[in-house]
């Protein structure tokens, strides 16, 4: 089986590529010309240079039977609004059209719980829930919502596509890093004197990779599956990091208005003057919500693994210690 993978240099993609190789797949990975290839170093795969919006993408997919469309731009900066829609929405439209032309038999489209939205009062939600698009915080979440609608349209055209919605992956190979990886790094560097009253659903990134493969093998065409595991408040997450590292977790909760004001000044006042912002306004706005999810459908229908979050956090800590040196 030959698989075409977009986003293979990233956190989820690199873990997926490794799993595919372990399971006997041949892998062809699309990478941008300026991508860091550290996550793919020494792997026995075919690398093709290109972009999600390339006109010749179908030709690059030729010879592959399945597609994992993992690539997406992640940014919470409001200045990146146009590029988010260009890459995540139009890019997905082009990738799926190319897959039709290349006679790809089945596609797994990587969406996100960001596209689903959040329930009220911290209530976990499942695949049947959908926030109104205008209630999704920030253009990243909206772009992932509209990208998922592109997948829905393609299914209606007869394309065999399964959608997966990862929550918050943690583990090794978080090269960029992701926002959660950045939290771990800030914790390790003692740059987190306070915490905010928010919550996340965490999952081992290797389980996310398995979720993609299981979706390919067992998923129902047109369905979406939340790839998640454990709901934790931010304070509980920091307590786990304290137990793993021996470093003290911050004990003081900060009022939402303080980081919000700082982020507003960063993006609305200082950034237009040429200063690189350090705090994303949409990121702070997201922190007001507890982003809790129920992955029972993926566990039941796909046999999604539910590996230890403590072990995944320890893997992330150990990997950051090695990679950052």
For the residues of 291-311, what is the DSSP string, one character each?
A: --B--HHHHHHH------HHH
pLDDT at 161: 98
Domains and CATH numbers, the chain: 2-175+203-230+292-311 (3.40.50.720)
60-92 pLDDT, tens per residue? 999 999 999 999 998 877 788 899 999 999 999
Q: Torsion angle, CA of 256/232/88/47, rounded to 10 degrees? A: 130
pLDDT of 196: 83
Mean pLDDT of the region 246-252: 93
**Cβ-Cβ contacts under 8 Å for 293 (sequence gap 6 or more):** 113, 116, 124, 125, 126, 167, 201, 226, 228, 231
pLDDT in the model for residue 304:
98
Instruction: Indicate whether 203 pLDDT > 70.
Output: yes
With CA atoms as reference, report the closest residue to 227 among 306, 155, 172. 306
pLDDT given at position 261: 77
Strands (E), the chain: 2-6, 26-31, 46-49, 66-69, 106-110, 161-166, 168-170, 194-195, 199-204, 224-227, 230-233, 252-253
Q: pLDDT value at position 43?
A: 97
Cα separation, 215 vs 224, whole angstroms: 9
Model confidence at 252, pLDDT cuts 50, 70, 90, reads confident
Average pLDDT over residues 17-44: 96
Task: Answer whether residue 59 shows pLDDT above 80.
Answer: yes
Reported as a pLDDT band with limits 50, 70 and 90, residue 217 is: very high
Residue 1, pLDDT above cutoff 70: yes
Q: Are 104 and 142 in contact (CB under 8 A)?
A: no
The single residue listed with the structure tokens 């956190």 is: 11
Whether the pLDDT of residue 246 is over 70: the answer is yes
């Amino acid at each position: 089986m030959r698989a075409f993978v977009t986003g293979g240099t990233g956190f989820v993609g690199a873990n997926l590529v490794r799993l595919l190789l372990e399971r006997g797949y041949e892998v062809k990975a699309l990478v941008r010309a300026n991508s860091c290839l550290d996550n793919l170093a020494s792997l026995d795969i075919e690398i093709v240079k290109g972009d999600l919006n390339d006109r010749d993408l179908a030709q690059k997919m030729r010879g592959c039977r399945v597609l994992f469309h993992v690539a997406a731009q992640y940014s919470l900066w409001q200045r990146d609004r146009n590029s988010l829609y260009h890459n995540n929405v139009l890019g997905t439209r082009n990738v799926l059209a190319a897959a039709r032309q290349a006679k790809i038999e089945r596609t797994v489209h990587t969406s996100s719980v960001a596209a689903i939205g959040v329930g009220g009062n911290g209530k976990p939600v499942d695949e049947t829930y959908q926030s109104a698009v205008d209630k999704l915080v920030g253009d990243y979440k909206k772009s992932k919502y509209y990208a998922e609608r592109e997948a829905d349209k393609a299914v209606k055209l007869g394309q065999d596509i399964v959608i997966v919605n990862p929550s918050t992956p943690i583990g090794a190979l978080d090269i960029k890093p992701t926002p959660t990886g950045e939290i771990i790094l800030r914790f390790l560097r003692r740059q987190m004197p306070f915490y905010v009253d928010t919550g996340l659903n965490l999952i081992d990134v290797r389980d996310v990779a398995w979720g993609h493969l299981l979706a390919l093998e067992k998923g129902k065409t047109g369905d979406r599956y939340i790839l998640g595991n454990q709901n934790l408040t931010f304070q509980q997450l920091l307590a786990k990091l304290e137990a793993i590292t021996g470093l003290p977790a911050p004990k003081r909760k900060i009022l939402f208005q303080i980081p919000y004001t700082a982020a507003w000044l960063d993006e609305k006042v200082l950034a237009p003057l040429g200063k690189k912002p350090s705090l994303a306004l949409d990121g702070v706005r997201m922190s007001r919500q507890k982003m809790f999810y129920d992955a029972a459908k993926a566990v039941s229908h796909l046999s999604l693994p539910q590996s230890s979050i403590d072990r995944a956090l320890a893997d992330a800590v150990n990997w950051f210690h090695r990679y950052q040196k």
